[in-house]
Amino acid sequence: MQGVGFRPFVHRLVGQYGLTGWVRNSSEGAELELEGAEEALEGFLSALRESAPPLALIESVDFYKYFLYAIFVACFIICRLK
């Protein structure tokens, strides 16, 4: 997903929901790793599906829960192409 504003969109959503982590493009699409409260993550996923930029095609979302705490502390990073 390059050139459609997806990563900046994700950055805005992350701030809106108080999450931390990273987003990057890969050869298979966008990859994200986020950390935050379960309710905030659920809100983020809902907004991601409902409000993505018009040219961003979201074919699927894979969601995995990990119980890791405070890895990113208070930041969010937009990474370069993998």
Q: Among all residues, which ones are annotated catalytic?
A: 7, 25
- Backbone CA torsion sign across 13, 69, 62, 2: positive
d(CA 6, CA 24): 10
28 burial (CB, 10 Å; 0-12 / 13-18 / 19+) is exposed
Residues 6 or more apart in contact with residue 8 via CB below 8 angstroms: 78
